[in-house]
Structure 1
C-alpha cells in the first residue's frame, strides 16, 4: 500500500465547498484483501477506536460503518473513516469523506476526507495509514514489519496528536468568533499559527486575536496587564477593590503582610490564567512562600487583601455587560471509598474533560495551590474523603486548571453590572473580563462586600459559551456586532473569471472599467498581480494563493480574479463565495494533466466558479458555447448570458432568456457596423460600436469582441454605470504595457508585428479568423509559433493543422522549457500536421531558439507585411521586436 500523492484543497474544490485532503492510494496486494478477509482486523480496530461504532456510513445510523467492516470493505474506505475520527478525537469535529476508485486504474483510490486544521488533518491521515498497517498480518508486504511494528504504540501516538492539535487549532474564543462571522456570510482567513484571524476582505476587513480586536487599545491592554495599576485606577474613581502592595523581595512581601490585614493574596503582577497565584494566606510564612512561587512568573509581585466570596467573571463588550459566570475551583467530592488521587482520576475520565481547550471542561491538574490546600487540611493524595465531603484542589477558579462554570447572567444586580461596565471603560477595553469577588452576585456589591480584583484583556469565552451548568451564551455575536455594525460592508466584491481562452484580456478589461468606476482594484492574471493598475508581483498568478493575497490587502475595494483550471485542481478556489462568476469558453487545452482527459471534465472544473456565486450575485455565461451554456443548471445568483449573435440571429436560448425578463449582452449587427447591446428585462441599451473599441482592431479581432461582451456583462452585473462601461472599453487597448502578450502591435518598423501569448488550438483558430479579415491589407503573413510540450500529441497536431492553413511562411520554434519533450519533438509534430494541412514544405522553417526565430522572421519581413509571433517569453520577445534595427529609431523604446 503506497500513498502516491497527498493533495490539500483549501477552498471550494471538485469535491465540494469545504476544505478536504485527497490521498491517492495504491492498495497493491490489499486490493485482494477487503476487511472481512483479514482475520481479527475489525475487532482490533474497534477495540482501539471504540467511537468508530458511532459512524453511520452508507447505512445512515450508528453502527453502519462497523457493519460495512464485517461485510467487507476496502482499505481506502477504512483509512477515510479513521482519519475523520482521529480529528474528532483531537477536538476538530469533521464528518465528510468519501473514497472512490480511480477510473481504469485497478487498485488506485482517491481517499477524500474533510479537515478543519490542515496539519491535524495531515497527521490524522498519516496515523490512520500506520494504524491500518499495524493491524495487517505480518506476512502481507503492506504490514508494519520488525522494529517498526514493535515500536508502534497507537494510544501514545493518538494522545500526541490530540496534544499537538491543541497548539494548532483555534481556541474556543477565536473559533466562536469565526463561526459567528461565517454565519453572517463574513469570510475568515487565518493569518498565523496562533489566533490571528482576518474577518472580511479588502478594505472592510477587521482582525482579531482571540478576544483582542483590531479596535482594542494597546494602552488599555498594557494597563490591564499591570494588575497593580488597574486596581489603583479603579480605586481612584471609587470602585471597590482590595488594598494592596507591590513588592520585589521576600522581605518586602513579609512587610506588606504585616501592613495589610490577613487573609491575603499573592500573585504575579502581569500573568494570566491563575498561574503563580496563592489565595487565603493567613501567615507571614505562607506569604513568603507564595512570593517565591509568584517570582517564578514575574519579578514584580502583588500582595493584596483577600476578599471573601465567590468568584465571578463579568464579560463586558463594547461598554455593555453581556454575560456573567460563577467560576468554581477544581474539586472532588468524597464517597468514603476512594482516595483523593483516585477521585481526581475518576473526575478526569468524564468525556467532557480534555487537554487544553479541546473539550467543554479541562482535566484537573495539581499545582502549588493544591499542595498548600492539602497541607492546610492535613490531607495527602492518599486520603479517603468522607462521603459527600467537597475538597477544593485549587484556590483559583480558572477553567484551565480544571474549574467549572455556572451561568449567572440573569442574576447579577444592576449596581454590580454598572460597576463592572465602568471598570471596563476606565481601563479602556472594548472587550473585558471583569473578575468580581462577592458573597452574592444578586446583591449590590457595595452592600454585601467584595470588589473587583482584576480586569482582563482578551478574556476567554469558553465559560460563557459552554458553562457546566446554566444557559450557554452566544457572546461572540456582540463582538461581531461591534466590529461590523448593521449596514456596514464586510467584504469587497469578488469578480472571478475563468475559461480556456480570453480570461486574461477580459480580466484586464474589467479591472480597467472598475477603475473608471472609481474603485481601487486588485487584479490577478497570468502576468502577475496588479494593484490599482500597477504591477505588484510578476508571474503566472491565477491560483488561490494570489487570490488570497489580494483579499488580504486592506486597501483593495474590488477584486478581479483570473481563475485558472490548474489552481482549482491543485488547491481549490482562493475564496469561499464570489459576487460575479464568469465562464468565457471551454476547449481542449491541458488535457491529460491532473487526471483531466476530456473537455467535459474541464467544463465540470470551471463550472465551480459559478456554483459559488452569492445568492445576490450573478453568473455570466457564454451562450454560444454549449458546454458553458449548460452550466446554467449549476449557476447561482442572477443569470446573465453574453453572445456574439443578437437580434434575429440570436439563439433560442438567448431569445427566450430575454423574453422571460433576463439579462443578456449581445453583438447586434447593423448597417453601420456591429454594436454591443444590453438587454435587461424590458430595457434595450445600445452600448458601443465595436470599431470604437481599440482592443478589437476596428472590430476585426472577433475574439476580443467576445471578450468585450463578457467584460460588459461582468461589469454590468457588478453595478457599473453604462457610461463607465462605455468609457472603460473605449480607453482600454492591448498595448504591451497594458496587456502584455495579448494582441500587442508594434508599428515602428516598415512591417507590422503582432505579439500574442496564444498557445492552444482555440487561440490559434481565433487568430486565423483575424488573419483572414486582415489579409487583404498584407501581401504576406509570417508566423513564429510553437506549442507547449505538456500538451498531448493530438492537441499539438491539431494546432499544427490550423497553423498550416494560416500563414504564408511558418517559422517553428520551441519554448525554453520543453516540459519533458526531446529537442525538436514538438517542432516535428507541428511540421507534420502543417504539411498534412496542405502547407508546402518550402514555406516551413525550423529555428528552435525563440529569440533567434523572432530575429529570423523580422530579417525576412518586407515593407507592408505582417509578422505574428506567438511568444512564450513575452518580455524577451517584445524587447527583441522594439530593438530590432530595421526601421527602428536609435535609442527608441517603442
Structure 2
C-alpha cells in the first residue's frame, strides 16, 4: 500500500546528514547482536519520500543493483524496491544501502531497522549490523553521500571511485583467508573471539580458557621453532641430519661466495634469501655464473639479514604439505602463474583476461592473487622465447613465474588423498623435527603419488604460519576444511572456551550484589574477575581504579588469562553507549528499577529504563538463568524477554500476591529465593520445585546489621539466587553470605561503618530518592536497635547528601525531601564533576526539596549547604556528639574514609584531629580521586543525543 505523499514546500535539497554515530559492540537496546546506530536528519528531504523524487529509485538501482535482492518487511525478493516505488523515506533507504555496501565488501549483513526519533520531526534512528566496525561506519557515511548525490548531483563526486576506495579500505581491515577460516570454524563451535589489534592477532575463548592466533600461528607455536623455520640453512641441516631428503645447500653473504657455492654444488642451482617468505627473492634453475650474479642481487634485496642460500635445483612439481598437530591435513600442488594461449590474444591480453577472474585480488584479499607483470615475469617469458606482445599458439602454456606461490599469481590443485604414505611420513617427521604445531612443508618431486626416496625429490622449505587458502579454496579439486584441526589443537573436543558470566544491573544495589556474588565464588576457589563502579578487580586485586561498569571493562576482564569466573556490574550508560562487551551472559541479575538517570539520552520513563536494563536478560542463553526481583513490576515483566530459566527473589511475606505467584512458580518446578518469617527472625530459603532449603537467618548476616539493612537482605537474596543458578553448593553460598561484611575492604563505599569519637559514622554511595528511602528506613531501624547503647535521650541523626548534576530538577528535590524525613540535620554537598550544572545549582535544588518537606512537618530541623565534599565532612564531624548517628553519602569514598581513619587514630593517641594533609593511605584503594574512565568520559560527552526508543524485534532487511 502506497504511503500518503506530503505536499513539498519547495525543491528537494541534498541536506541529509548524520548527527551522531554509535557503535554497539554487543547486545544492545536495538539488536541482539552488534550494530551501527546512526542518528540522521533528513532536513528538507523529510518532505520527499522516494515516490516524490522522479527517477530516484532507478538511479539508485543503477548505482547499487544488489538492492534488488533485499526483501525488507515484505519478506520476498524485491520487497525493498516495491517499498521504494510505493514511497519510503531516505533514512530507510540509507539503511539498506549501508547493508548492501558491506555485502559488496564481503561482509554479509542482513539485519537493520529505521525508526523515527520521537518528538524530533525529520530525525531517524538508522540501525544496521556490521562485521567490522570501521567498514560499517564507512558504509553508512558513503550511503548518506550517495542519497544526497542522487537527489542533486554533487560536484566532484564519482560513486564508482568512492566505492572502489571503500572496498580497498574494507580489504585493508579484513581478516586474511587463513585467519577467517579459523574464526569461521571457531564461530561454528560457539567459541567467542576478540580482535586484539587492527591486523590478525585474535583471542579465541575467554579468560583462563583463552588462546591466541596470529594468522596461522597459535598460542602453542614455539618461538624457537619459528626461528628455526626462518633459518633455511639450519632447517636443511636439521632435516638432513635426521635422514630426510633435502637438497645440497650452502649459506653465503657475498657474491664471490655465492658463485663459489654454486660451482661446488653444481649447476643447475637455486638462489634465495635465508629468511624470505612468499617466494620473494627465489630464483630457480640457474645454469650459469651470469644468472647467479643476477639472482644474487634479487635475493639480497629480499633478505633481512643479508645471508643468501645456494642449493641444488630439484626438478619436479611443487607440493605444499600442511601439517597440524603432527598429522598431515592437506596437500596442494602449486602451479606457477601462467596463461594458456588461444592463438588470438597477446600474452599481455591473456594476463588481463586471467586477472579479470573475480576470484583474483590484490595480495591475499581473495582466494587467488592477480598475476603481476614485472621484470621477473618478462625474464621468464624471454627464457621461453616470448615477449608480452607475443601471441602464443592455441593450447600452449606460457609461464610468467618459476615458483608456484599463490602470492605471485599461482594456482593450486588439491592432492590431499593422492600422496604416498612414505611421503606423508616424511612431511610429518619434518614438522616434528622443527617443532612446529602448524607447518607448511614444501616438497619438490616428480610425483607425490610415488615415494620420493625412489623417484628423487626433496624438502626445500619448512614454513611457519603457512597460508591456508590454497587448501581451503583450491583452483582445482575439493576444498579441505583444515581450520578444524587447528581449532581442535587449541580447544580439544570437550574442552571449555567460555568462563561463566554473571551480569548484574538495576538502579540500586547492583554493586553490593556483584560483590556478594564474587565473594561467594572466591570462597569456592575461583579466580573471579569483577567490574564495578569502583574499578576492575581480578582475584580480589584492584587493577584499574575507575568507573568500570561498562563494556570496555567487561572485555578487559574476559581478556585476563587468570579469570575463570566473571561478575559484571552493567550500568545503563554503557548499554546505551556501546551495548554489552560480550555476546551473552550465563546469568542476569536485575535488582530493581527506580527513577534515576531519567531525562538522559532519551530515557524519560521507568518503562524505557527497564527496556535498557533488560538487555542483559535478553542476553541469557537457553541454558542460562535470569535472577529477577518479583517485588518490582518492571523487573517482573522482564521474564517474557528471557530465553532461559527464571530464578525469582522476593521480600514479600507468605500469603501476599507476589509470594503466591512465586510459590506457584516453584510448585511447577521453578526456582526462587524467599524470606520465611518466624519468631526467631527471617530465614532466607532457596526453593527448587517442591524442595525448600534453609540458607541463613537475615539478622546473622554481617551485611544486614542485625537485619536493619533491608536493602542488603534483598541484595543477599539476589546473590544467593545467582550463585545457586551458577551451581554453587548450598554450604558455600551460606558461608559466603555469612562472611561478607560491608567493611571498606570487601565493599568500599557501600554502608561502611566507622566509629569516630563514639559516634557511628556510615559511608555510603546513595545518590537518588529510591535509594534514600531504603537508606532512611535503615537509619530508622538501626536507631531503634541502638537506643539502649547510648546515654542521650535523643541522639542526633546527621546526613550528608548530594545528587549528580545530570539528574532532573525534580529528582534532586525529591532526594532532599526523602532525606528530610529521616535526618535531624542535613548538609548538602556537590560532586567534583558538575555535569553541566553551575556551582551550587544542584545543591540548592536538593536543599529546596528538603526545606519543602520540613514545611510539611518532616523530621529535619536544619539544612546547610557546604559544596566541597571533604569540607562538608569536616563540618559535620566538628558538630557531632558521642552517640550521634552520621551517614555520609559520598562520591569519593577513599578520601573521606582516609580522613575519618586519621581522626580515629589521633583521638586514640590523645591528639588533636588532623586535616587530610597526611591522610593514611589504604593499600588497595588509596584516598586519591578515582580516575575518570574512558567510559565515564564518553558518557558525559554524549549529551544532547537522540531519544532512543528501545525495540527488541529485529526487522529483516535483506
Classify the TM-score, shorter chain: over 0.9
Give the Cα–Cα distance (whole angstroms) in 2 for the partners of residues 646 and 885 of structure 1: 42
Structure 2 counterpart of 1:370, from 364, 377, 392: 377
What is the DSSP-based 3-state SS (H/G/I as helix, E as strand, rest coil) of the residue aligned with 1:159? helix
Tell me the alpha carbon deviations over residues 837-856 of structure 1, each in whole angstroms, 9 at most, x when there is no partner. Answer: 32478532233333333233
Q: Is 2:755–2:904's contact at 8 Å kept on the other side of the alignment?
A: no
Give the direction of change, closer, same or farther, for the CA distance of 1:473–1:297 in structure 2 (3 Å limit). Answer: same
Query: Residue 767 in 1 paired to residue 783 in 2?
Result: no
Matched with 1:791 is 807
The answer to whether the aligner puts 1:29 opposite 2:44 as a matched pair is yes
Distance 1:109 1:680 in 2: 47
Mean Cα deviation higher: 822-831 or 434-443: 822-831
Aligned partner (choices 520, 524, 528) of residue 513 of structure 1: 520
Contact map agreement 1:750 1:887 (CA 8 A) in 2: no
Instruction: Report deviation, 1:646.
Output: 5.6
Query: For residues 400-451 of structure 1, what are the alpha-carbon distances to aligned partners after superposition, in whole Å with 9 as ceiling and x for unaligned?
Result: 2222222221211111111111111111111111111222222222223222
2:135 matched to 1:120?
Answer: yes
Name the CA shift for 1:260/1:153 in 2 (closer, same or farther; >3 Å): farther
Which consecutive unaligned segments of at least 5 residues does structure 2 have? 1-15, 788-793, 914-919, 923-958
Q: State how far apart, in whole Å, the 2-side matches of 1:426 and 1:24 are.
A: 58
**Residues 191-590 of structure 1 correspond to what in structure 2 (within 5 A)?**
191-298=196-303, 299-590=306-597
How big is each residue's C-alpha offset from its partner over 1:323-346, in whole Å with a ceiling of 9 and x where there is no partner?
111222222222222222222222
Q: Does structure 1 retain, via aligned residues, the 8 Å contact 2:25–2:582?
A: no
1:665 paired residue number: 673
Instruction: Give the alignment partner of residue 649 of structure 2, picking from 626, 642, 645.
Output: 642
Q: TM-score, normalised by structure 1?
A: 0.95
CA distance in 2, matches of 1:68, 1:470: 44
Residues 1:856 and 2:878 are matched in the alignment: no
Supply the distance in 1 between the matched residues of 2:868 and 2:431 (Cα, whole angstroms): 71
Counterpart of 1:89? 104
SS where residue 543 of structure 2 aligns?
Answer: strand
1:876 aligned to which of 880, 885, 895: 895
Aligned to 2:601: 594
Does the CA-based 8 Å contact 2:378-2:388 persist in structure 1?
no
Q: 1:887 to 1:802 in 2, by over 3 A?
A: farther
1:122-137 superposed matches below 5 A: 122-137=137-152
Deviation of 1:62 (Å): 4.4
8 Å contact from structure 2 (residues 654, 660) kept in 1: no
In the other structure, the counterpart of 1:13 is 28
RMSD across aligned C-alpha pairs, in angstroms? 2.2
Distance change >3 Å, CA 12–CA 460, structure 1 → 2: same
Aligned length: 884
- CA distances 1:100-134 after superposition (whole Å, capped 9, x unpaired): 21122111111222222222222232233333333
**1 CA distance for matches of 2:80 and 2:308?**
57
- Report the alpha carbon displacement of residue 698 of structure 1 after superposing the two structures with TM: 0.4
2:624 partner SS: strand
Aligned partner of 1:818 among 834, 846, 868: 834
Partner of 1:623: 630
Aligned-partner Cα distance in 2 for 1:751–1:450: 90
Q: Over residues 554-588 of structure 1, what are the superposed CA-to-partner deviations in whole Å (9 max), with x where a residue is unaligned?
A: 11221111111111111111122222221111112
Q: Which residue number in structure 1 is paired with residue 702 of structure 2?
A: 694
1:566 aligned counterpart, secondary structure:
helix
2:60 & 2:292 partners in 1: Cα distance?
Answer: 54
Offset of 1:886 from its aligned partner? 12
* 3-state DSSP of counterpart to 1:821: coil
Question: 1:621 aligns to what SS in structure 2?
Answer: strand
Residue 613 of structure 1 pairs with residue 631 of structure 2: no
Query: Structure 2 CA distance, aligned partners of 1:486 and 1:35?
Result: 53
Give the whole-Å Cα distance in 2 for the aligned partners of 1:81 and 1:339.
Answer: 43
- Change over 3 Å in CA distance of 1:775–1:4 after alignment to 2: same
Q: Is the 8 A contact 1:309 1:440 kept in 2?
A: yes
Distance change in 2, residues 1:885/1:255 (3 Å):
closer
* Superimposed CA distance per residue, residues 128-170 of structure 1 (whole angstroms, 9 cap, x where no aligned partner): 33333333325xxxxx4xxxx32x3433333333333333222
Contact 1:92 1:169 in 2 (8 A): no
Q: What CA deviation, in whole Å up to 9, does each residue of 1:35-66 have, x standing for no partner?
A: 34444444444334343444333444444444
Query: Secondary structure, in 3 states, of the residue corresponding to 2:908?
Result: coil
Gap change, CA 1:393 and 1:74, over 3 Å in 2: farther
Higher relative contact order (CA 8 A, sep 6+): 2
- For 2:935, the equivalent position in structure 1 comes to none
The answer to whether residue 94 in structure 2 is matched with residue 79 in structure 1 is yes
Report if the CA contact (8 A) 1:13-1:571 is conserved. yes
Following TM superposition, by how much is the alpha carbon of 1:880 offset from its aligned partner in structure 2, in angstroms? 4.1
Larger displacement relative to structure 2 (801-810 or 189-198): 801-810
Stretches of 4+ moved more than 6 A in 1? 891-894
- 2:864 aligns with 845
Write the distance in 1 (CA, Å) between the matches of 2:515 and 2:239: 58
1:99 to 2:76 alignment: no
> Are the aligned partners of 1:801 and 1:834 in contact in 2 as well (CA < 8 Å)?
yes
2:180 counterpart (154, 167, 175):
175
Decide whether aligned partners of structure 1 residues 437 and 51 sit closer, same or farther in structure 2, where only a CA change above 3 A counts. Answer: farther
Deviations 1:70-89 (A, max 9, x none): 44432222322332233333
